[in-house]
Structure 1
Amino acid sequence: MIVFVYARDAHYGIGKDNGLPWHLPADLRHFKRTTTGQTIVMGRKTFDSMGGPLPNRNNVVLTRSRSFQAEGAEVIHSLDDVLQLSKQEAIYVIGGAEIFALLWDICDKHIVTVIDEKFEADTFVPPLSEQEWELVETVPGPIDEKNRYPHEYRTYVRKQAK
């Protein structure tokens, strides 16, 4: 199973200058709860932006570069490598945009934090089609002095072909 985990703004922005355009601690906690103990797959730029592997997760970096090495992470180089991993266990794809684009049509589930604000972004995801995706869970996120933006956590699963 291939699961995407990401946050997006009201205009489907997910990033700016290889980082997040917002600061939302509740979303970071949600991300940690969702991915701890799991295999996470990311692109090289995402890995570099984090400054190293995330603790308590099996970190996998997908890159075209055969010479790239990532201390504390497994490095893979192809879509076939991703598919082999996903046959063994659920994999949680955490970005970036190139990896999402590569796997978008074969993803099984989206766990999305939807932030009800528009931010300056340079990286986007497409909207999820109601014909292809079923919203199965919506949980409101907290709003307080540390979490200033209205947001909710949504889970979508791919609809079965009829």
Structure 2
Amino acid sequence: MFLSIIAAINKNRGLGFQNKLLYWLPNDLKRFKALTTGHTVVMGRKTFESLPKGALPNRRNIVLTRQEICFEGTETFHTLEEALAHCASDEEVFIMGGATLYTEAMPQADRLYITEVDDDKAPADVFFPEINPEQWQEKSRECYPTDEKHLYSYCFVDYERR
């Protein structure tokens, strides 16, 4: 199995505030959809509950929760280890949040797909773990300026484990 992490973060590694994304970047959402469609996405319960329409279409949705609860269109597991044990050995699995799950998955991840937003002012109450350059090598970086749909400049940055 190939484990990838996908996230949008600001200069302070901020991910979200009050269980909402910090930024609305249409091109980031398009990239997320293009990368994850046809694959498995793993998320924590709060991340799932923040999705406006529930389970993401054309993806296998796995929700991690300690509760005995089921969500329509998803599979639920209590631990990341248990969820990954139910994934095929030849598939790419995407960790899509929240902060606790990112921290737990980071030591096992093979690739990071990070959108770096050029902002340090938005209040955040959850943060992405530090990307250690001794463990991660930047493979590509595509940067874009602000425009009529994007209030912040941003970069798509892909990392692979060294």
Q: Counterpart in 2 of 1:134?
A: 137
Are the aligned partners of 2:103 and 2:129 in contact in 1 as well (CA < 8 Å)? no
Are the aligned partners of 2:102 and 2:129 in contact in 1 as well (CA < 8 Å)? no
Higher mean alpha-carbon deviation, 111-120 vs 20-29, is at: 20-29
Are the aligned partners of 1:26 and 1:142 in contact in 2 as well (CA < 8 Å)? no
Q: Counterpart in 2 of 1:121?
A: 124
Please give the secondary structure, in 2, of the residue aligned with 1:31: helix
Matched residue type, 1:63: T
Gaps of 5+ in 2: none
CA distance in 2, matches of 1:107, 1:68: 27
Q: Say what the alpha-carbon RMSD is for the aligned residues.
A: 1.3
Please give the secondary structure, in 2, of the residue aligned with 1:144: coil
4+ residue segments displaced more than 4 Å: none
Q: Counterpart in 2 of 1:44?
A: 45
| TM score, norm. by length of structure 2 | 0.92
Matched residue type, 1:72: G
Are the aligned partners of 2:48 and 2:63 in contact in 1 as well (CA < 8 Å)? yes
- After TM superposition, give the deviation of residue 32 of structure 1 in Å: 1.1
Please give the secondary structure, in 2, of the residue aligned with 1:128: coil
Are the aligned partners of 1:40 and 1:93 in contact in 2 as well (CA < 8 Å)? yes
The 1:112/1:86 distance shift into structure 2, 3 A limit, reads: farther
Q: How many residues align?
A: 158
Q: Counterpart in 2 of 1:25?
A: 26
| TM score, norm. by length of structure 1 | 0.92
1:149 aligns with 2:152: yes
Please give the secondary structure, in 1, of the residue aligned with 2:96: strand
